[in-house]
Amino acid sequence: MNNIVAIVGRPNVGKSTFFNRLIQRREAIVDSVSGVTRDRNYGKSEWNGKEFSVIDTGGYIKGSDDIFEGEIRRQVELAIDEADVIIFVVDVEEGITPMDEEVAKLLRKVTKPILLAVNKVDNAMREKDAYEFYNLGLGEYYTIAGMSGSGTGELLDALADILPEPEEKQEEEALPRFAVVGRPNAGKSSFINALIGEDRYIVTDIAGTTRDAIDTKYNRFGFEFNLVDTAGIRRKAKVKEDLEFYSVMRSVRAIEHSDICILMIDATRGFEGQDQSIFWLAEKNRKGVVILVNKWDLVEKDTMSTRDYENRIREELQPFSDVPILFVSALTKQRLLKALETSVHVFENRKQRIATSKLNDLMLPIIENYPPPALKGKYVKIKFCMQLPTPTPQFVFFCNLPQYVKEPYKRYIENKLRENFDFSGVPIDIYFRQK
C-alpha cells in the first residue's frame, strides 16, 4: 500500500525545494511529475525500502493576506484528511510567524504522525536559532537545508521508521483492479450504482481496501475483477470542493493501485483542467485508460456531435490519443456495459505479448523504408527489436547509435506499433539501446 506524505507550510519556506530534493536525489526514485495539476507537485520516492508518494501542497495562494491564510488553512486541512504523514516545513531565517502558529494549531489536534522540518539551517549559528521552534508545541524538530540537502537523511530515516512495513502481496490482489476516477460530481457513484444495482453478479464488498475507497468484486463477460469506487471516499464539509487539488489527491491512491482507470468526465462541463490532471496522472503511472463522457443525455446534440466532442478531447490528449472514448449516461444506463467491456479489452491489451519473430518481421521493413534521419552524416542502423518482459508494454530497438534517435522518430515507431497491434488505451514505452 503506497503511503501519502504531504509537505505543508506557508509560502516561501522552501517546500518545493525540499520536495525536489526528495524526488531527484535518490536513484531509488520511481517517478516525478511536475505540474500534475497546474503547479502542483506529485512524485514517488523510496527510502530504506519504504515506498511513498510525496505531495507538495505549495504554490497556490493568490489574492490578499486573508485569502492567503484561508487557502493555507484549507490546504493543511486537506493534507490532514488525505495524507498518512505530514511534514511541516518552517523557515529558520524568519522564525515563527503568525501563519506558522496557525498551521501548528491545526496540526496539534491531529493524531497522524507529524514531522517538523526547520529549513535553511546551513550553519551552527542557525542551529541555535532553530531552538525557538520547540514553542510550536509539536515536539522534536529536524534541521535541514533544502538547497544543499544537509539533514534530509535524518528526516527521511524518521519518516521511514513511521511508515508501515511493505505488505506481502496477497493472493486476492491477483484480481485486476479497475478504478473509477474523475472530478467530484462527474457521476462516478451513479455509474457504479447503476452497474451494481441491477446486477446479481456481485460476490463481495470489501470496504476500506484503499482506506475509504470501496472495492467490489464483479463478475461479467466471464471475467472477474475488482471495481474500485473512489467516489466513496468521505467528503469533509470543511474542505471546499472547489480545491482543484482535492479530487486529484483522492485519485492518487486509487490510480497507483489499479490496472485500468475509468476516467469519468461530465459532458456538460467538457474535458477540464482537473480531468486532464487525472488523465496524465494515470498515464505517468502507466495504467490503462478508458474515458467515459457521462451525462451525454443532457447535451443538446444539434450543437455538438459526438465526433466533434471526441476530436476536441483527443486534441487535449496529444501525443497519447489512442484511448477509447465512450459516451454514456449513468442515469439512463446507456452504454454502461459497453464501457465495462471496453475496460476489459484495454486490460487485455495492456498484458499482451508480441512474439519477437513477428515483431521483427513487421517492424524491420517499416524501419528500412523510413530509417531515422542521419545526424552529423552518421546513419542509425536498427538491427533487431523485442518486447521486454515487463507488466506494461515496453519495446527495445537495438541499433548502432541510440543517442541519435530523437523524440519524433520514437513517436513514429509508436504509431506504427499501434497501427499494427491493438494497444488502445495503453501507454507504450520505447527504448533504443546499443546493440
Task: For residues 344 and 336, give the distance between their C-alpha atoms in angstroms, rounded to a whole number.
Answer: 13
Task: For residues 209 and 202, give the distance between their C-alpha atoms in angstroms, rounded to a whole number.
Answer: 17
56 in a known ligand binding site: yes
Of 188, 168, 186, 187, whose CA–CA distance to 178 is shortest? 188
Grid cell locating 104: 501548528
In this prediction, residue 62 carries a pLDDT of 47
In this prediction, residue 111 carries a pLDDT of 87
- Contact between 360 and 354 under an 8 Å Cβ cutoff? The reply is no
- Domain extents for the chain? 3-162, 177-351, 356-434
Alpha helices in 25-97 (DSSP H): 65-82
In this prediction, residue 242 carries a pLDDT of 41
230 in a known ligand binding site: yes
Q: Strand 141-143 vs strand 177-181: parallel, antiparallel, or unpaired?
A: unpaired
Task: For residues 434 and 216, give the distance between their C-alpha atoms in angstroms, rounded to a whole number.
Answer: 46
229 in a known ligand binding site: yes
How far is residue 286 from each of residues 26, 31, 71, 255, measured CA to CA in Å?
21, 11, 32, 10
122 in a known ligand binding site: yes
Task: For residues 347 and 350, give the distance between their C-alpha atoms in angstroms, rounded to a whole number.
Answer: 5
On whether the pTM is more than 0.75, the answer is no
380 in a known ligand binding site: no
| Dihedral angle, C-alpha 236, 240, 241, 245, nearest 10 ° | -100
CA atoms in the 13 A half-sphere facing the CB of 391:
9
Per-residue pLDDT of the chain (435 residues; tens, 9 = 90+): 568 888 888 877 888 788 877 776 443 333 344 333 334 466 778 888 888 888 877 644 444 455 566 766 777 777 777 788 999 999 998 889 888 888 898 898 888 899 999 998 888 888 888 888 999 888 889 999 877 878 888 999 999 999 887 765 544 456 788 988 887 778 887 888 787 764 433 334 443 333 345 567 777 666 778 877 775 444 444 344 444 455 566 677 778 878 999 999 988 888 887 788 888 888 888 999 999 999 888 877 765 688 888 998 999 888 888 999 999 988 888 888 899 889 999 999 999 999 999 999 999 999 999 988 888 888 889 889 999 998 899 999 999 988 888 899 999 999 999 999 999 999 999 999 987
269 in a known ligand binding site: no
369 in a known ligand binding site: no
406 in a known ligand binding site: no
Grid cell locating 74: 484549507
Of 126, 141, 137, whose CA–CA distance to 95 is shortest? 126
In this prediction, residue 254 carries a pLDDT of 78
In this prediction, residue 361 carries a pLDDT of 93
Task: For residues 356 and 366, give the distance between their C-alpha atoms in angstroms, rounded to a whole number.
Answer: 15
420 in a known ligand binding site: no
Number of H helices, E strands in the chain: 12, 17
166 in a known ligand binding site: no
109 in a known ligand binding site: no
349 in a known ligand binding site: no
Angle at the Cα of 327 from the Cα atoms of 325 and 332, rounded to 5 degrees: 150
pLDDT in tens, 316-371: 888 888 999 999 988 888 888 899 889 999 999 999 999 999 999 999 999 999 98
Of 68, 56, 123, whose CA–CA distance to 97 is shortest? 68
In this prediction, residue 397 carries a pLDDT of 94
344 in a known ligand binding site: no
CATH architecture of 356-434: 2-Layer Sandwich (3.30)
371 in a known ligand binding site: no
Q: Strand 223-229 vs strand 177-181: parallel, antiparallel, or unpaired?
A: parallel
* Fold observed for domain 3-162: Rossmann fold (3.40.50)
Which residues have CB under 8 Å from 285's CB, separation 6+?
A: 31, 255, 256
In this prediction, residue 60 carries a pLDDT of 45
Grid cell locating 256: 497507483
Task: For residues 91 and 300, give the distance between their C-alpha atoms in angstroms, rounded to a whole number.
Answer: 54
Task: For residues 426 and 341, give the distance between their C-alpha atoms in angstroms, rounded to a whole number.
Answer: 15
Of 358, 435, 350, whose CA–CA distance to 397 is shortest? 435
- Contact between 15 and 89 under an 8 Å Cβ cutoff? The reply is yes
242 in a known ligand binding site: no
15 in a known ligand binding site: yes
Signed CA dihedral, 348, 352, 358, 359: sign only: positive
180 in a known ligand binding site: no
In this prediction, residue 210 carries a pLDDT of 34
329-344 burial, b at 16+ Cβ within 10 Å, e below that, comes to bbeeebbbeebbebbb
CATH number of 177-351: 3.40.50.300
Please count the other Cβ atoms lying within 10 Å of the Cβ belonging to residue 223.
14
The answer to whether the 3-162 and 356-434 domains have the same CATH topology is no
Identity of residue 394:
Q
In this prediction, residue 304 carries a pLDDT of 63
66 in a known ligand binding site: no
